[in-house]
Structure 1
Amino acid sequence: MNISEETFLVNLGIHVRQLREKRGLSQQGLADDCNIDKSQIARLEVAKVNTGIKTLFKIANALGIEPKELLDFHSK
């Protein structure tokens, strides 16, 4: 797989949003569960931030999934 960093971040954001919505969570709800600012979730979902591993770990835990599942998406 050879995709650009920007494409990767866009796809990650889309995937996080889909997982969040599937669980019926708002951005604020997910942020509260992760103990991070809502703007961090919003920026992640629209590929405006290259977030860290710790944040991805918190998001995965809040969504009840393994961290590797956050990266399990198909390039578009």
Structure 2
Amino acid sequence: MDISQETFIASLGVHIRQLREKKGMSQQDLADDSEIRKTQIGRIERAEINTTIKTLIKIANALDVEPKELLDFPLK
């Protein structure tokens, strides 16, 4: 199965937003808990940037999920 980088990054951003909202967190809450700027959280969720593994680990910790759960999403 071929998937474009853009599709993967967009699906990742949607999934992070869904997990954040499921936990009842705002972007600011996630930013505070992960020590990442709110603007960067927004850019990740909107697929404007290709984030690093280090940042994904911080986000996973803040969402209280395993890092692999961030990558477990349907591709759109």
- Structure 2-normalised TM-score? 0.97
After TM superposition, the structure 1 = structure 2 runs for residues 12-31 of structure 1, keeping only pairs within 5 Å, are 12-31=12-31
The code of the aligned residue for 2:56 comes to: L
The code of the aligned residue for 2:23 comes to: R
1:51 corresponds in structure 2 to: 51
After TM superposition, the structure 1 = structure 2 runs for residues 1-76 of structure 1, keeping only pairs within 5 Å, are 1-76=1-76
The two structures, once aligned, show a CA RMSD in angstroms of: 0.6
- Give 5+ residue unaligned stretches, structure 2: none
- Give 5+ residue unaligned stretches, structure 1: none
- Structure 1-normalised TM-score? 0.97
Count of matched residue positions in the alignment of Structure 1 and Structure 2: 76
| Per-residue deviation, 1:2 | 1.7
| Percent of paired sites with the same residue | 67
